[in-house]
Amino acid sequence: MSTGPSTDESQPLVSVVIPTYNRSEYLSDAVESVVEQTYDSIELFIVDDGSPEPVAETLTDCDLDRLDSVTFVRHNENRGANVARNNGIRASKGKYVAFLDDDDRWHETKISRQVEMFESSAPEVGVVYTGKRTDSPSGTTVTAPTAEGDVVEELLKGTNFGQFSSIMVAADAIDAAGLPDERFPAWQDREWFFRLAKHCHFKPVQETLTFRRGGAPGNITSNFEAKRDVAYPLFIDKHYAFAREHGLYLARMFLASMRRNLARSAIRAGRYREARKYFVWAFLANPLFRPVHPHLVASLGGKWTYESASLLRRTAKKL
């Protein structure tokens, strides 16, 4: 189902893809942040991944007519976020494609600033990403982007380039790198960034234009198990050989960063014994990987020492 008039033909068309599943309490905020963009030439794809109540029936308060077009795509069953994203990408016609998770929001100038960056950059730039703010029960964190150009080494070292909601990708870069891998239940964004970085350069917009909601409903334990049992071994199998092509040091950094990520996921799931194991494995992969050192020490005593260390760190940040 589509709706909306055509607008300013002088602007490159931007396709926005929102995958969603059973989050009607957040989705309207996400969609409203697209409607409120100062950029005019936007087509929106809302891909309903089998929600019990069709999302097209829940967005009655959003003024969707302000967009170029709005298309609702509905899956008969829950097929996963990357399947939903890919169906949106396949239907898109934009020069650039942006993604918004259904529990996130954008600043009203996000699309405009990213298009400006693309249009003023060299043709090898295929990804433009923004700073982000994450609000969660434990506090607020702001991540400012810095890395640009060929970011392969940064990715191998574990640098965080944000999530789907913070990136805009040129359509020709998607053609070169391929679609997001539908086999991954987690780390879907990070895996795609690896492939995109092989084919194009990244460019940051050094402003906080993406707002994430941390601690949204979800099964944290299941998420950790999906990473441990599926995403981690698949990621290593798919990308370790590529990491090894860049030398033993970066290959070991890659392993250390992936194991640290897995350990931190175990912490969030309350699996402290497993977390300690993966922090140790990360240290063994590369003892020089400094981000793992404080986590390894804090995890040695289990929940009590880790939570105490986390409290001290948060308190120190406030001083």
Residue with tokens 């693309």: 118
Distance CA 302, CA 16 (A): 43
Residue with tokens 């590369």: 286
What is the value of pTM for the model shown?
0.89
CA 187 centroid distance within chain: 8
Select the CATH number that applies to the domain covering 2-213 from these four: 3.40.50.10300, 3.30.230.10, 3.90.550.10, 3.40.50.700.
3.90.550.10
Give yes or no for residue 314 having a pLDDT over 60.
no
Summarised one tens digit per residue, pLDDT across range 27-86 is 999 999 999 999 999 999 999 999 999 998 888 778 888 888 999 999 999 999 999 999
For residue 261, give the H/E element and its range.
Answer: helix 248-268
pLDDT at res. 306: 64
Domain ranges of the chain: 2-213, 220-318
- Among 118-127, 274-283, 286-295, the minimum mean pLDDT is found in 286-295
Per-chain mean pLDDT for the chain: 89
Give yes or no for residue 216 having a pLDDT over 90.
no
Pairing of strands 201-213, 105-106: antiparallel
pLDDT at res. 81: 95
pLDDT at res. 207: 96
Look up residue 151 and give its DSSP letter: -
Structure tokens at 215: 């601690």
- State the Cα torsion 175-182-81-31 to the nearest 10°: 0
